[in-house]
Structure 1
């Protein structure tokens, strides 16, 4: 004899348990809110496999955006896509290579950089974020970015979930060169080392900003790609060369240490008062490299090498025609003019410069030790009457 309870159990067995209302995923809600505070950044690149896309973090309602300092910013046609699909121009305010970050500002059409933008964007409070204690190993995180350019216009950014593996000092390199930022970083177990991810946000499970996803680099100890983010409170000690003269006028090189931090950079940069750590200027024509660039016909002619003087420092270092000089000492090379100015201001005979050149489909690290400029050829003698040689008499 069946009871009502046994009939109910039979129905459950056949049809399954009564449907329950699906619980909202807290991570999904966090990502949806954070997506409104991030932008897709588009700029220089798009040729020879140099990516022209990345990510940025909105840090003011007026449209200040924190991103990484890369070749992406080397353009006068920088563009961002907001979460709602708006496509707006942007402009670089300042970069700091030693922190590997840059501040850009969205600048709607018809607006000057110092004018109110009229925007009212959702944003991360960077000052508040920098005052929070750092996340600890084992804490859950979300990494949000435009990895692989999956998102355009109003499409949501990619989201990765993971944990903080370590909070440790950076020991990374790009090619054969050490990475300029040597402060603390979050190492995460999510694979964030992807094209387009740099400039994205690392968040805790509440959606609070922890750090900015860094560029693609390798660990100097393990030779493996690093999945990391620079903390909002990150700082780095920078050694600056100083040059003084003794009583005889002889130059004496010294060194001083300056500490710079992310909070200081953001605060001063948003006020237009940040000055990047200054390199030591050298008076003169700089060191000699022996690179012959393509004709400099426009304001931003890319630094393509047309020829290399045989036996010159560039030749000895292995530079070739058709190489594109992309970085010098960690700074993007926006044009031939910019490269020439760097050489004149910051180098001398014997200086070593670290170049990253685009060769075919790869980025090659090359170190060049600059030499002394060869003497200019003397002015040729004006042509005179032909010399007549009288044959000897027999």
Structure 2
């Protein structure tokens, strides 16, 4: 074999290798669009980490599922390159269980998922699930990859967690993708499910049990529901901003009543009474420090902001509000009048 023949043989061997190197691995590309999130948690055994993924937006946006880790107003985001920055929670969507997080201005994510990929689904289709389950990828390590198949498209049942829907799970009856892989793991919520072409198929939901069998559900919210959830979050956020600008400051009614609530450290801080001014309308009504306000005029309030707003709307110098508090494991209903002390 002469030199020319040897060169031809070597080129014929090398060409496929060069071509293979130039091909983009859809799974590796998808891993670049998955983020690791760190927030609150570490309370009562709850994890303070989970998964999320980047979608197109300006500033950059991360989609994830609701959880105890998101009880603050910010959450730490770590991208595929190990870069860390603080994201701002834009809003939540109860119907889907999704949360939208805004990255700081100027952040360019390593990659993003398209919400208009229109990936077709078929039963037993081969899929991949990508997430930061068990916090294996803390820095620039790639997130965990699991092989799966689409077992069914079914309606979401409720959780058996104390008879209430699980935080971060879509509403009962919502269509979900049932997966053959064990994806219901700590930290997996907010991860993605992709097809073999790397297109977004679904979003891994929060850990949730079947109300019938008690078994953990391995499911994902279909990708076509994500865009609608983001639109709902943005609509509510814009409406809430307009309402806050038009509404009177809720602290005025509280100050007139001599009532002080705990600081709203998070958007879901419970409405505990911190102080009651001696001789004030609140004191005459029988309210006490450490009372937990659970209802105003018969309507349930779950947060400091909700309680303060309800008192502001209902309390005047001529009208009273009915306040139900939880005190030493019993409910007490009291009438707070708006008259001056």
**How does the TM-score come out when normalised to structure 2?**
0.64
Q: How far off is 1:304 after superposition?
A: 10
Answering whether residue 216 of structure 2 is matched by residue 225 of structure 1, we say yes
Q: How far off is 1:214 after superposition?
A: 0.2
In structure 2, stretches of 5+ residues that fail to align are 1-16, 241-259, 274-289, 295-301, 313-320, 337-341
2:82 pairs, out of 85, 106, 119, with 85
Deviations 1:150-187 (A, max 9, x none): 11120111111111111111113143124551211000
2:135 aligns with 149
- Whole-Å Cα distance in 1 between the matches of residues 57 and 102 of structure 2? 11
- Whole-Å Cα distance in 2 between the matches of residues 94 and 276 of structure 1? 10
2:94 aligns with 97
- Whole-Å Cα distance in 1 between the matches of residues 109 and 214 of structure 2? 44
- Whole-Å Cα distance in 2 between the matches of residues 184 and 163 of structure 1? 17
Q: Which moved more, 1:53-62 or 1:145-154?
A: 53-62
Confirm or deny: 8 A CA contact 1:136 1:167 kept in the other structure.
no
- Whole-Å Cα distance in 2 between the matches of residues 276 and 214 of structure 1? 26
Answering whether residue 40 of structure 2 is matched by residue 44 of structure 1, we say yes
Change (3 A) 1:41 1:224: same
Q: How far off is 1:303 after superposition?
A: 4.5
Confirm or deny: 8 A CA contact 1:79 1:89 kept in the other structure.
yes
Change (3 A) 1:48 1:177: closer
1:57 aligns with 53
Q: How far off is 1:215 after superposition?
A: 0.4
Q: How far off is 1:305 after superposition?
A: 8.3
Answering whether residue 103 of structure 2 is matched by residue 106 of structure 1, we say yes
- Whole-Å Cα distance in 2 between the matches of residues 339 and 196 of structure 1? 30
1:125 aligns with 114
Q: How far off is 1:95 after superposition?
A: 0.9
- Whole-Å Cα distance in 1 between the matches of residues 113 and 231 of structure 2? 13
Matches within 5 A, 1:292-311: 298-300=263-265, 303=270
- Whole-Å Cα distance in 2 between the matches of residues 218 and 167 of structure 1? 17
Matches within 5 A, 1:203-214: 203-214=194-205
In structure 1, stretches of 5+ residues that fail to align are 1-20, 112-116, 235-261, 279-294, 307-320, 326-332, 352-367, 377-394
1:264 pairs, out of 214, 225, 228, with 228
RMSD: 4.2
Q: How far off is 1:297 after superposition?
A: 5.5
1:137 aligns with 123
- Whole-Å Cα distance in 1 between the matches of residues 182 and 155 of structure 2? 19
- Structure 1 or 2, whichever has the larger Rg, is 1
Q: How far off is 1:299 after superposition?
A: 4.1
Deviations 1:13-56 (A, max 9, x none): xxxxxxxx9xx8xxx93332111001001111123312110111
Confirm or deny: 8 A CA contact 2:86 2:103 kept in the other structure.
yes
2:333 pairs, out of 341, 352, 373, with 373
Answering whether residue 185 of structure 2 is matched by residue 199 of structure 1, we say no
Change (3 A) 1:298 1:204: same
- Whole-Å Cα distance in 1 between the matches of residues 138 and 42 of structure 2? 15
- Whole-Å Cα distance in 1 between the matches of residues 78 and 263 of structure 2? 28
1:358 aligns with none
Change (3 A) 1:138 1:304: same
Q: Give the number of equivalent residue pairs.
A: 260
1:66 aligns with 63
Answering whether residue 141 of structure 2 is matched by residue 176 of structure 1, we say no
1:337 aligns with 304
Confirm or deny: 8 A CA contact 2:39 2:72 kept in the other structure.
yes
Q: Secondary structure at the match of 1:263?
A: helix
Q: How far off is 1:76 after superposition?
A: 3.2
- Whole-Å Cα distance in 2 between the matches of residues 203 and 342 of structure 1? 43
Counting helix residues as a fraction of each chain, which structure ranks higher?
A: 2
